[in-house]
Homo-oligomer: A and B are copies of this chain.
């Protein structure tokens, strides 16, 4: 169950998939060099592998006992968190003025992949804190920022994201938590929140909750939601910890996976109400929340990559060691490592290829985020912002879907041992399952992609992306290396299928909204396949040009194209032709 940070794969994907060196060369990150990037990655990989990874099983088996309102994190987690915080990892991409290091989000996401591969239940806490920092930085008042931002950036305190209520999950507009104006500029909150990740824990002295609530005179639905900062401990005038606020954990859920992460039901306002401070304007909470959610959604996609990478490493190690049966021509007295059997190779290559595709999609999204904040000129920033917005639901949903698929294959590679909990493969299968659900289910991501993101800038964003993919296909065709097999043909087909499906989606009139929604999830998958396949091929072509060690990247790009991109025509057909059969199937659901 050892984890080895895949620094070569990550570094190559950052360079030749995401194009980080070009962004550096444009001066987007000051005097940062790729050597700096490599040094950070190497140190993060070391910490992830040596300190965090050994805690993964401890977290799974010990969970987070809850007693008298307090959560105890698993043995060793506080020390690991302290070391992680002291290493400055929390503020890696946070603003320098608040104590962060101002490094690229792209680099931060690569590090998050490693924290999540090491222990998803550990990394999900910082993931939310980092998202909360974004929201507070973008929307908070100067006073709030001064009081809270530095300690959130340093990791001295953590953040929680409190949206969900029993009747308000995907439908966040249905929330009922109430906030009353206290007359002194603060608010008093009363209500109940569920599924709150790290809503209570013993890692830090204070926890800064970001809570969605509704003012008494708020309009209904999402236009009447405000975001409040609600600290566990109120601050004295000098910034030191003061009185305990009126917010508490009521219970901790018994979950399928990520047992090391406490998922809390929270009660606000047993007494006079929890003291809260509005972030941004009243009734403008959704905008703040989307700042927080969008970063978090990409980071959850990265969780899918992390758990897939970890499951793949373990399955590969097992398949190299476990001996069963013989390959063709082997004498009866010998036995082969199961990695030699073609069907096992298929599983392992599937795991590798899907993981690499999801990784390169996530990093491409991350660099678009960086460019949206740092590129020269508003037009370039706007184009990058649109691209990041377009790719975020794809990164989230595709990467977490394949996280489950890869973890399940990992169990299968282990045979009977995979079903035994001590082996560890089963934990990945359990842990991976949540990432397709939280931060907006993958169905919600698909709906977001189809109903909001395709229409960005009148379709210009998606068309620009399609042009990028077509350009990659051209370079693959031009390269024409025989080891690429049918890569170019399959990818060209995938991109054109995506283009037609996109045109079909953009062409749906309002009265056919349900037809578009019926095809949303297959559309997102096609988007992921075409994008992931092209970005893998882009890396393969770069490898062929640059090195004499191109074989692994070429093999993966080819395997992905011949086994996944090849599905594109069928998916296009399902999208374009499948709606009547789906929408007319009432009788089969009665």
Q: What's the Cα separation between A264 and B327 when bound, in Å?
A: 31
- Shortest A327–chain B CB gap in Å is 8
Partner of A588, one of B429, B556, B590: B556
A563: which B residues are within 8 A, CB to CB? 574, 578, 581
Q: Is the CB of A514 within 8 A of B342?
A: yes
Question: A residues 485-504 with Cβ under 8 Å of B?
Answer: 485-486
A48 within 8 A of B: no
Contacts A404-B408, A485-B580, A555-B585 given; indicate if A335 touches B174 (C-beta within 8 A). Answer: yes
* Interface set, chain A 444-494, CB cutoff 8 A to B: 446-447, 483, 485-486
Q: Does A134 reach chain B (CB closer than 8 Å)?
A: no
A254, B57: Cα distance in complex, Å: 14
CB 8 Å contact bits of A39-64 with B (1 = contact, 0 = none) = 00000000000000000000000000
Most chain B CB inside 10 Å of its own CB: which residue of A220, A352, A520, A566? A566
- Report the minimal beta-carbon distance from A339 to chain B, rounded to whole angstroms: 6
Copies of this protein in the assembly total 2
What's the minimum C-beta distance from A290 to chain B, rounded to whole angstroms? 17
A418: chain B residues at CB < 8 Å are 437
Extra contacts, 8 of them, besides A174-B335, A256-B411 (Cβ < 8 A), are A254-B422, A256-B421, A327-B514, A342-B514, A342-B520, A415-B437, A430-B430, A551-B588
Q: Looking at the assembled complex, report how far the CB atom of A509 sits from the nearest CB atom of chain B, in whole angstroms.
A: 12
A380 at the interface (CB under 8 A from B): no
Cβ-based interface call for A204 (8 A): no
Contacts of A404 in B (CB 8 A): 408
Which B residues lie within 8 Å of A333 (CB)?
220
Of B332, B518, B573, the contact of A345 (CB 8 Å cutoff): B518
A114 → chain B closest CB, angstroms: 21
- CA of A343 to CA of B421 in the docked complex: distance in angstroms? 33
Which 4 interchain pairs have the tightest Cβ spacing? A551-B587, A555-B585, A555-B588, A256-B426
Whether B349 contacts A582 by the Cβ 8 Å rule is yes
Do the beta carbons of A562 and B581 come within 8 Å of each other? yes
Among candidates B255, B421, B574, residue contacting A420 with C-beta atoms closer than 8 Å: B255
Interface status of A399 (Cβ within 8 A of chain B): no
Contacts of A349 in B (CB 8 A): 582, 585, 588-589
**Which of A20-28, A163-171, A360-368 interfaces with chain B?**
A163-171
Contact A589 B352 (CB under 8 A): yes
Residue among A486, A583, A584, A585 having the largest count of chain B Cβ atoms under 10 Å: A585
Report B-chain residues with C-beta under 8 Å of the C-beta of A438: 416
Chain B residues in 8 Å Cβ range of A520: 342-343
Q: Which residue of B lies closest to A443 (CB)?
A: B343
Contact with B along A540-561 (1 / 0, CB 8 A): 0000000000011111101100
The minimal Cβ–Cβ distance linking A311 to chain B, given in whole angstroms, is 13
A517-B342, A585-B345 known; A170+B437 contact, CB < 8 A: no
Pairwise interchain contact A562-B574, C-beta atoms closer than 8 A: yes
Q: Mind listing 14 A-B residue pairs with CB under 8 Å?
A: A194-B416, A254-B421, A256-B426, A342-B579, A348-B589, A349-B582, A349-B588, A352-B589, A353-B588, A415-B441, A555-B586, A562-B574, A562-B577, A563-B578
